[in-house]
C-alpha cells in the first residue's frame, strides 16, 4: 500500500516485536469492541468476555465512525476535526497511517471489493471516494447540505448518502460516481442500511422521528415507522443508528435522547419492542454470533450490552466522553 505513514510508526524491529508480544498476549482470547470517544480523542477497547475496558488508544481529534478493512486486520477511523481517516493496526494497536478524506469526515463505508472507501464530508456537502491502495482521492461528489449516513449496496453498484439539512437520500452510481436519483425523506436523515438482498433501503430521520423503508428499484418510500414510548415525549424520540440482526428479521433502531432502542419486525412490518439503554444512544453493533447488541450512549459516556435472546441489558460499561462509533472484532481475528 502507498498510504501516508506516520513517523512514529517507523520503529525498530525489536521494539515492534515487543509491542506485538505485549499487545497480543492479553487480547488473543477476547472478542473486542472498539469505541470512538468524541471528546477524549481516543478509542476504548472492551473485552466482551469480561465486559470491561482493557485499553485505550489515542487517535485524532473528534473520532466518530469506525469500520474494518476487508480482511479485518486494520480499522479506519474518521478523525473529523483532524480532517483525515486514520489507519489503525489491529494487532499492534498503533496508528500506522492515514487516508485523505476531505474536510470533516463523519461516516465511512467500504465497497464490497475492499479497495474503495467512501466518506461523508459534513462541512463541505461532499462525498469523498478514496482509493485505499494508492492512498488517493478518486473523486468528490457534490451532495446535499450536511451529508452523514452512508451505505453501499451488497452488489457494490450503488452508494447512498443522506443529507441532514436537505432531507434527502442521494443515489450514486459507483461506476461513474454520478447521482442518478434523490429521495425526499423526513427531517434530518442520519443512518442508512441496505437489506441483505439489496432490494430495500432503510433510513432513520432524527428530527422527523421516523424510520423509512424505501424500495431500491423505484427509490420510493414504501412505509414510514413512527415511535411511541410510554413516558417519553415524542420530541425526544430521535432515530439515529440502525442495524439488522443476523437474518434481517429485525431492524434495531437507536432512538437518541429517548434513551431507548426499538426493534422493527421486518416480516410483520411493525414495531415490536423497546429497550431502555444509556443516555443519548447513538450507534449499534452486534458481536460475532449476534447474541449481544452493544450501543454507544453519548451523554452517559457508556456502552450498553443487550442480551438479544433474553431481551435484557446485561451491563453498562463506562468508556470515554461522548462515545459515538463502535466496531467489534471476532475472537478468531484478534
Q: What is the pLDDT of residues 136-145, one digit of tens each?
A: 999 999 999 9
Q: What is the mean pLDDT of residues 211-219?
A: 98
CB 287 within 8 A of CB 31: yes
> What pLDDT, in 10s, does the model give residues 256-303?
999 999 999 999 999 999 999 999 999 999 999 999 999 999 999 999
Residue 6 has pLDDT above 50, yes or no: no
* pLDDT value of position 259: 98
Hey, how many other C-beta atoms are within 10 angstroms of the C-beta on 9? 14
Q: What is the mean pLDDT of residues 105-129?
A: 96
- Comparing 16-25, 237-246, 249-258, 296-305, the range with the smallest average pLDDT is 16-25
**How confident is the model at residue 5, as a pLDDT?**
46
Task: Please give the residue that has the higher pLDDT: either 147 or 13.
Answer: 147
Please tell me the distance from the alpha carbon of residue 140 to that of residue 164, in angstroms, as a whole number. Answer: 18
If you average pLDDT over residues 242-256, what whole number do you get? Answer: 98
The dihedral sign for the CA sequence 232, 236, 239, 240: negative
pTM of the model: 0.90
Q: Give φ, ψ of 17 to 5 degrees.
A: -60, -40
Spatial separation of the C-alpha atoms in residues 177 and 160, rounded to whole Å: 11
Number of other residues whose CB lies within 10 A of the CB of residue 236 = 15
Amino acid at each position: 500500500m502507498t498510504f501516508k505513514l506516520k513517523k512514529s510508526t517507523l520503529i525498530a524491529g525489536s521494539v515492534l516485536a515487543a509491542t506485538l508480544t505485549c499487545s497480543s498476549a492479553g487480547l488473543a482470547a477476547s472478542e473486542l469492541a472498539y469505541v470512538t470517544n468524541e471528546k477524549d480523542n481516543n478509542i476504548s477497547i472492551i473485552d466482551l468476555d469480561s465486559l470491561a475496558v482493557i485499553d485505550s488508544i489515542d487517535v485524532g481529534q473528534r473520532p466518530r465512525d469506525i469500520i474494518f478493512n476487508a480482511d479485518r486486520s486494520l480499522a479506519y477511523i474518521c478523525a473529523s476535526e483532524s480532517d483525515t481517516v486514520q489507519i489503525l493496526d489491529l494487532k499492534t494497536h498503533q496508528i500506522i497511517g492515514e487516508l485523505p478524506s476531505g474536510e470533516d469526515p463523519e461516516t465511512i463505508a467500504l465497497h464490497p471489493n475492499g479497495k474503495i472507501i467512501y466518506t461523508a464530508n459534513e462541512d463541505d456537502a461532499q462525498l469523498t471516494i478514496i482509493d485505499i491502495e494508492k492512498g488517493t482521492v478518486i473523486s468528490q461528489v457534490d451532495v446535499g447540505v450536511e451529508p452523514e449516513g452512508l451505505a453501499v449496496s451488497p452488489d457494490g453498484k450503488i452508494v447512498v448518502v443522506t443529507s441532514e439539512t436537505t432531507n434527502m437520500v442521494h443515489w450514486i452510481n459507483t461506476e461513474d460516481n454520478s447521482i442518478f436519483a434523490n429521495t425526499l425523506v423526513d427531517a434530518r436523515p442520519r443512518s442508512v442500511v441496505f437489506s441483505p438482498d439489496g432490494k430495500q433501503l432503510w433510513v432513520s430521520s432524527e428530527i422527523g422521528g421516523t424510520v423509512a423503508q424505501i424500495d431500491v428499484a423505484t427509490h420510493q418510500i414504501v412505509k414510514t415507522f413512527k415511535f411511541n414510548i410510554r413516558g417519553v415525549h415524542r420530541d425526544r424520540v430521535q432515530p439515529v443508528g440502525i442495524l439488522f440482526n443476523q437474518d434481517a428479521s429485525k431492524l434495531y433502531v437507536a432512538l437518541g435522547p429517548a434513551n431507548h432502542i426499538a426493534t422493527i419486525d421486518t416480516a410483520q412490518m411493525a414495531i415490536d419492542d423497546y429497550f431502555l439503554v444509556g443516555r443519548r444512544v447513538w450507534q449499534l453493533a452486534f458481536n460475532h454470533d449476534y447474541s449481544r447488541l452493544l450501543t454507544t450512549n453519548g451523554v452517559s459516556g457508556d456502552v450498553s450490552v443487550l442480551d438479544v435472546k433474553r431481551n435484557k441489558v446485561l451491563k453498562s460499561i463506562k468508556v470515554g466522553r461522548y462515545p459515538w462509533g463502535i466496531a467489534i472484532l471476532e475472537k478468531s481475528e484478534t
